[in-house]
Chain A
Amino acid sequence: MGKTMAEKVFERKAGRPVRPGEIVVASVDWAMGQDGTTPLAIQSFEEMEGKQVFNPERVVFVIDHNAPSPLEAVSRLHDFMRSFARKFGIRIFEVGEGVCHELMMSRGLVVPGDLVVGADSHTCTYGAVGAFSTGVGSTELAVVMMTGKLWFKVPESIRLNLLGTLPQGVYAKDVILHIASILGADGATYKALEFHGPVIEALSVEERATITNMAVEVGAKAGLVPPDAKTIRWVRERTDRSFEPVVPDFDASYARVIDVDCSVLVPQVAFPHQVDNVRPVTEAEGVPIQEAFVGTCTNGRVPDLAVVASILKGRRVHPGVRLIVAPASRETFLSALEKGWVEDIVKAGGVFVPPGCGPCVGTHQGIPGDGWNVISTANRNFRGRMGNRESSIYLASPATVAASAIEGKITDPRKYLG
């Protein structure tokens, strides 16, 4: 019987044959923490009387969730991270460098076949480069920092065959929102997702990351795309670290196999307050909005800013809407500047905030007012997520967000394309 990608990564990292459901202790290639979770990990590390870090070169801290600091208490926690990183020689990505998950990929850190843990639920994103990556808690991050190892339950996998071709105006985000509506918010709990088919093959690595990023929104432990020539080239442009890609066996055994015909999709919108509360944009059109947000580990990358700029160029954001844009990284921001997209977006009335998580987590940079509707490219629309329980969040693709920002109400982006 063949093996899935997840099983093969664990086999390699545990150093023995494994079966789904089995508990294994495996060596991790990277351990990552951000500013919302690392201070607690450091506290646990100290409580466990940690004396050393297993390999400082394979531990990464990122200050992205609450950056630049809006409060003195936050500044103290950032300094707590900085001083620990300095003491142990850990790499730290500073304020303004970008979102942790984008940096782990775009800086060429994670390579195909890696096993990665991060104290952030969207660590599952790196499946876009063929790694098994998953979110852990702060104390588990502390244990991994000390030992380089963690226990895992080898997951079963769900295979999603993404068939057909994407119609105009339909993007990776629409595909994963549609998948969330099929599987539900707990449809893949304890399992890994494996994405196959012509649609995933045609997407860029950045667009694949939009899909793997939201694996956790259906409860999955990881979301993986088998690496192909495109993946290898993308990674090779960023690192000369050696790697051996992991691909699933043709006769691997899956808990479920789901065919998704993407040719018939229209733009999708997740309604408040659940990510799986997804409907076609045609059922959302006309909902008034007061804020529009483009960014995050889901949709803050180069292809996302490109489509937003192309829609906004020469147009105006509706006077009743605050359009906020947070590039996923400094490099993304620089690309957008170079290509003129920043000018297109700012002239249209958009507001850029620094590369990082922006207003996604409700701490700063665009907390909505009472009764506001926000349309966002983020991955979560829980009540209060953006810092005000009296507001409502709709999730959509960057194109849908840009079109809606122009009209002041949720708008089908297809009329602005082509």
Chain B
Amino acid sequence: MRLEGRVHRFGDDINTDYIISGKYKFKTLDMQELARHVMEDIDPDFAQRVRPGDFIAAGKNFGCGSSREQAPRALLAAGVRGILAKSFARIFFRNAINCGLFVVECDTDAFGTGDEVVVDLEKGEVKNLSSGVTLSIPPLPQVMIDILREGGLVSYFKKYGSFERV
């Protein structure tokens, strides 16, 4: 599992209300519609700037707040493929994996807007091609790797039917 993309830089404590506001998420299951409003309250132009395959690099506690799975789903629908952050809130972290969104815990100080990055989960490393910095990333629990490999929890569950492999 290897992904390459361009970084958008955000700060600490990006909560799920910022990722997708409650005023939008309560009225539709259409993630393309939600994608038009992703990050709106913290960066109103983000939805226009983001391109398919892009990454977000953020500070600590990314995805804190509400349990809304619409947050990682709307990011994916907007084209974001992965999030690098110093730390993640736990519900968001699980939701992201369950939707097939890469989440990588690493020191993001060396990642700025416009940098090109490569994430390689097999090798357990993330490389900033623009600055040359390479960081190792902590291994995920096996169940999360398996879910990501299947592209998310829906596909995982259709294949295995339970968590008994855990």
Contacts and interface: CB of A to CB of B under 8 A. Distances in A.
Given A37-B69, A121-B65, A382-B65, A65 B26 contact: yes
B26 A48 contact: no
A186 B29 contact: no
A387 B154 contact: no
Contact of B89 (A77, A219, A387): A219
A77 B29 CA distance: 9
Interface stretch (A5-13, A66-74, A295-303): A66-74
Contact of B91 (A136, A185, A274): A136
A190 B141 contact: no
A151 B69 contact: no
Interface in B30-72: 40-42, 60-61, 64-70
A389 interface: yes
Contacts of B69: 37, 40, 119, 137-139
Given A137-B69, A382-B17, A121 B22 contact: no
B59 to A, nearest CB: 10
A73 B34 CA distance: 14
A121 B157 contact: no
Given A219-B61, A384-B18, A363 B94 contact: no
Contacts of A186: 13, 60-61, 64, 87, 89
Contact of A190 (B73, B90, B158, B163): B90
A187 to B, nearest CB: 10
B98 A36 contact: no
Contacts of A139: 69, 95, 98-99, 152-154
Interface in A165-199: 185-186, 189-190
Interface string A209-220: 000000010010
A139 B25 CA distance: 16
Contacts of B157: 48, 143, 146
A25 B154 contact: no
Contact of A121 (B27, B28, B67, B141): B67
Given A121-B91, A186-B61, A219-B90, A151 B26 contact: no
A272 to B, nearest CB: 12
Interface in B121-166: 141-143, 152-154, 157-158, 162-164, 166
Nearest to B42: A383
Contacts of A185: 13, 61, 64
Contacts of A121: 65-67, 91
B15 interface: yes
The listed residue with most A CB atoms (<10 A of its CB), out of B42, B91, B94, is B91
Interface residues of B, number: 46
Interface string A8-52: 000000000000000111000000000111011001100111000
A63 B158 CA distance: 29
Contacts of A65: 22, 26
B21 interface: yes
A73 B28 contact: yes
A382 B65 CA distance: 9
A209 to B, nearest CB: 18
A150 interface: yes
Contacts of A190: 90
A36 B42 contact: no
A23 B154 contact: no
A277 B65 CA distance: 15
Nearest to A36: B26
Given A74-B27, A186-B60, A380 B163 contact: no
Nearest to B70: A40
A137 B27 CA distance: 17
A362 interface: yes
13 contacts: A47-B154, A48-B154, A48-B157, A65-B26, A73-B28, A137-B69, A139-B69, A140-B95, A140-B98, A185-B13, A380-B65, A383-B42, A384-B21
Enumerate the 6 nearest inter-chain pairs by beta-carbon distance, A residue then B residue, closest first.
A384-B41, A186-B61, A137-B69, A137-B95, A135-B67, A361-B22
Given A65-B26, A121-B67, A362-B23, 6 more contacts: A123-B67, A137-B91, A140-B98, A186-B64, A362-B21, A385-B22
